[in-house]
Amino acid sequence: MKILAIESSCDETSAAVVEDGRRILSCKILSQIEMHKRFGGVVPEIASRAHVEAVVPLTEQALAEAGLGANEIDAVAVTYRPGLIGALLVGVNFAKSLAYTLKKPLIAVNHTRGHVASCYLANPELKPPFLALVISGGHTSLLHVKSYTEYETVGITRDDAAGEAFDKAARVMGLSYPGGAEMDRLACDGDEKSIPLPRAVVKDAPYDFSYSGLKTAVVNYLHKLDQTNTPYRKEDVAASFTKAVCDTVTDRLSHAIDDFNPPALVLAGGVSANSHIRRAVGELCDKKGCPLYLAPLSLCGDNAAMIGSQAYYEFLEGNISDIRLNAIAVSDKFVN
Ligand code: KG4
Ligand code: ZN
């Protein structure tokens, strides 16, 4: 079954064709980062407009690269939640029109489930049940994936997502948006013990996360240095900050692996591209004897191939949408 998938929830427009949930026939991604950079973050109106301009040509390219005419696809899939509402609406309305005119099934996909599915594309043997940690610019969620379409949220961030904190720390150091990848590179040459930063725990919620305190701590630390014109090494800040994130991630995962004894752990989302986090979680999983599944760096960020993968399993479960499908902006505890 060949599914044409569309992703437009934030600042990447993407169209892909995926076969039977596991094989990428094509995946085109157009990043808007250059457009948002000078504002230091994503400007929702600019994002929506850019999606409108990109979605048709990208879809044509994805079909051409897959060697398929529009009528040869079996279904149309689209990210319908969560994300920026204006951005989501572009993809949802486009996918609805396409499915309607081609008379093909329409499949609505949750973006967070899509991130998990990026690991199906890279690991043919991976199948639920497993535990998954999705860490990105918009989410930090620990999920019990009971089957391809049955999700239970085990832990969630109470405030900022990990990626949001990475980007903020980077911004205060004058790095360009989104600074996560640059923080990763800088951290390789820094001293992770040089700056004391907090590792928040959420009372009575051993699997929950909180990154706003860490974000504020690093911002205050840098402001104080700026006010007194004290020089600092960005590498040290990046290394100390990254270590704090690694520690919170491995702490929550360590408890969860002990308590759930999962057959596997999946790490996905934009921040899962971080080399230090990948290494730290890899070491933890080795110690616990729990197989770890990751996506290649090319599939960690937002892309439509992961949406096409999850869509296949939604289809098999009978989760088909129709012309009444609407976009939903908010993220909530239920990954549906
Ligand atoms: O999954 P994604 O593309 O979008 C959302 O669904 O949010 O994630 C983007 C986030 C940004 O915050 C970006 O800075 C972060 O992923 N990111 C990284 C790295 N690469 C991307 N954070 C830390 N280290 C990286 N190597
Ligand atoms: Zn994402």
R_g of the chain, CA atoms, integer Å: 20
Instruction: At 20, list the tokens.
Output: 């039977």
Name the DSSP class of 321: B
Q: Whose CA is nearest to atom 1 of ligand 1?
A: 270
CA of 41 relative to ligand 1 center, distance in Å? 12
Whether 234 and 173 have beta carbons less than 8 Å apart is answered as yes
What does pLDDT average to over the chain?
Answer: 97
Nearest atom in ligand 1 to the alpha carbon of residue 302 is: 3
CA of 176 relative to ligand 1 center, distance in Å? 13
Residues 250-273: pLDDT tens digits? 999 999 999 999 999 999 999 999
CA of 331 relative to ligand 1 center, distance in Å? 17
CA of 194 relative to ligand 2 center, distance in Å? 31
Predicted local confidence at residue 331, as pLDDT: 75
% the chain with pLDDT above 90: 96
Beta-bridge partners for 26: 17
CA of 69 relative to ligand 2 center, distance in Å? 28
Beta-bridge partners for 1: none
Q: How far is CA 3 from CA 47, 135, 224, in A?
A: 25, 26, 53
Ligand 1: list residues with CB < 6 Å: 10, 136-138, 163, 166-167, 178-181, 183-184, 269-271, 273-274, 301-302
My answer on whether omega of the bond before 129 falls inside 30° of 0, hence cis, is yes
Predicted local confidence at residue 334, as pLDDT: 73
CATH architecture for residues 127-298: 2-Layer Sandwich (3.30)
**Strand, coil or helix: what is 300?**
helix
Pocket-testing residue among 166, 171, 281, ligand 1, by greatest number of atoms within 8 A of Cβ: 166
% the chain with pLDDT above 70: 100
Predicted local confidence at residue 85, as pLDDT: 97
**Cβ atoms within 10 Å of 261's Cβ, excluding its own:** 10
Predicted local confidence at residue 335, as pLDDT: 84
Q: How far apart are CA 265 and CA 261, in angstroms?
A: 10
Residues 32-81: pLDDT tens digits? 999 999 898 899 999 999 999 999 999 999 999 999 999 999 999 999 99
CATH of domain 2-115+299-316: 3.30.420.40
Average pLDDT rounded to a whole number, residues 109-113: 97
Predicted local confidence at residue 330, as pLDDT: 87
Average pLDDT rounded to a whole number, residues 185-193: 98
Q: Whose CA is nearest to atom 22 of ligand 1?
A: 180
Contacts of 209 (CB under 8 A, 6+ apart): 140, 155, 156, 157, 158, 162, 200, 202, 248, 252
Nearest ligand (C-alpha, residue 273): 1
CA of 330 relative to ligand 1 center, distance in Å? 19
Domain with CATH 3.30.420.40 in the chain: 2-115+299-316, 127-298
Pocket-testing residue among 271, 276, 303, ligand 1, by greatest number of atoms within 8 A of Cβ: 271
